[in-house]
Amino acid sequence: MNEELKLTQEWDKTFPKSDKVNQKKVIFHNRYGIKLVADLYEPKIVTDKLPAIVVCGPFGAVKEQASGLYAQIMAERGFLTIAFDPSFTGESGGLPRYVASPDINTEDFSAAVDFLSIQENVDSEKIGIIGICGWGGIALNTAAIDTRIKATVTSTMYDMSRVNANGYFDSLDENARYEMKRTLNEQRVKDYKSGTYARAGGVVDPLPKEVPFFVKDYYDYYKTKRGYHKRSLNSNEGWNVTSSLSFINMPILQYSSEIRSSVLIIHGEKAHSCYFSKDAYSNMIKNSKYKDNKELMIIPNAVHTDLYDKIDVIPFDKIEEFFNKNLK
């Protein structure tokens, strides 16, 4: 709890500042004692307590990228919003740096709800969350455990447990997974000997000629002026090599069919990752008594990263309508 944080005060986002909202930095803590830093956005004219939305993602990004854009736009539309850096990343605290955890990162979302619940200008009965990319899966995981969350939106979702354990398109069998675990555990010994944590590398740079189209899409976002940020893991040296270990062994979304609150799952039709959302939606409503307030929205022709920052592609009108309906 006593860890000192270094906060940037100048506007260093990958998107222009809106003149319709007020923005400030806030600090709160999760129940593991890790300090989390967020940008809070609120409409300039406030006449009553506001519905609030927590935003996080993509996986390996920072709040100055896509999550901040979502938060600012939703604040323009009348919500009080926060976009936070997850534990161990960005301006948030937590040591060692650059590690992810299905448990702690789910807790990060709930900690943001803790913070919002005690703000004088927030209606604590009207709190929702938005998770982008890997934090889409984490948002859905949080909705399954946190009954204070009244509405959840996932955008261009990844199930990080599934992709880490099974590879893309579930291409890894048990033997391949064993070899991956063996390599990662060998890396643990190297890290322990050196006293440091080897980094996995962010988005590949320079871009090889022969790579899947989605790697080119990631490069176009994280490595160019469009989305590069100096604190973003994907824009720079990436996560710790061993960061994925806990996801392999701890599947998320085990109780998604018990989510009683409203859920809107959004994905691009042409996204390599679309199967994560389709399957998550299917599993959520299968054998569920709470199907009526669940929705899957597929955006024609959109790829994964289109839903990071392309304002003409992201269905903000639909997201606003969804939260207005379900945060009432």
d(CA 20, CA 3): 34
pLDDT tens track of the chain, all 328 residues? 567 899 999 999 999 999 999 999 999 999 999 999 999 999 998 889 999 999 999 999 999 999 999 999 999 999 999 999 999 999 999 999 999 999 999 999 999 999 999 999 999 999 999 999 999 999 999 999 999 999 999 999 999 999 999 999 999 999 999 999 999 999 999 999 999 999 999 999 999 989 999 999 999 999 999 999 999 999 999 999 999 999 999 999 999 999 999 999 999 999 999 999 999 999 999 999 999 999 999 999 999 999 999 999 999 999 999 999 999 8
Contact between 104 and 85 under an 8 Å Cβ cutoff? The reply is no
Cα–Cα distance measured from residue 54 to residue 82, given in angstroms and rounded to the nearest whole number: 5
Residue 133 CA to residue 303 CA, distance in Å, equals: 12
Residue with tokens 């990228």: 65
pLDDT at 1: 54
Max distance between CA atoms of the chain, in angstroms, equals: 60
Tell the CATH superfamily of the 21-159+253-326 domain: Alpha/Beta hydrolase fold, catalytic domain (3.40.50.1820)
Please tell me the number of Cα atoms within 13 Å of 285 on its side-chain side.
15
Q: Which residues contact 102 (CB under 8 A, 6 or more apart)?
A: 138, 141, 160, 161, 246, 247, 250, 252
User: Which amino acid type is present at position 180?
Assistant: M
Eight-class DSSP state of 243: G
Per-residue model confidence (pLDDT) at position 198 = 98
* Distance in angstroms (rounded) separating the CA atoms of residues 33 and 31: 5
Task: Judge whether 203 and 223 are in contact, CB under 8 Å.
Answer: yes
Does the pTM surpass 0.85? The reply is: yes
C-alpha 284 chain-centroid distance? 19
The single residue listed with the structure tokens 């736009």 is 73
How far is 199 from 216, CA to CA, in rounded Å?
21
Q: Of 112, 52, 119, 116, nearest to 79 (Cα)?
A: 52
Residue spans per domain, the chain: 21-159+253-326
Predicted local distance difference test score (pLDDT) of residue 271: 98
Q: Answer whether 86's CB lies under 8 Å from 105's CB.
A: yes
pLDDT of the residue at 47: 83
Indicate the DSSP class of residue 23: E
Q: How far apart are CA 68 and CA 56, in angstroms?
A: 8
